[in-house]
Amino acid sequence: MDELLARPLIARALWMAGLVDESALRAWTVSLGKRDASERVAHLICELFVRLGTIGSARANGFDLPLTQEQMGDALGLTPVHVNRVVRHLREAGLMSIRNRTVEIADFPKLQKMASFDPGYLQTIG
């Protein structure tokens, strides 16, 4: 590890990755305390869409969902049944749908607004 940290570009990349992780942790802590279930699910979908888009794994209007509804519920403090109801609500609202572990986003700006999602916390400094 010392050899890696002796290289300035690698040390900076590790430092910046840590900053993004800390920022995401703060955002998720706030999310659990302030957002209702629909906003939490919408926020998770927005974050996954942006993160997967950054690495080229999202399509223009969606992505393959790497999580089950049970895993989503665990991450969001919700039961799988509640996650299912929220996903149905978001589909009926014309914002997004999940079918066969594939997310299709019908209206990202509206989904982003509903979730109060600001991707700034996912960006690195400088």
**pLDDT tens across 73-105, in order?**
998 989 999 999 999 999 999 999 999 999 999
Q: How many CA atoms lie within 13 A of 65 on its CB side?
A: 21
Give the type of residue at 119: P
Q: Encode pLDDT of 60-78 as tens digits.
A: 999 999 899 999 999 898 9
- The CA distance from 74 to 40, in Å, is 12
DSSP 18-59: HHHHHHHHHHHHHHHHH--HHHHHHHHHHHHHHHHHHTT-EE
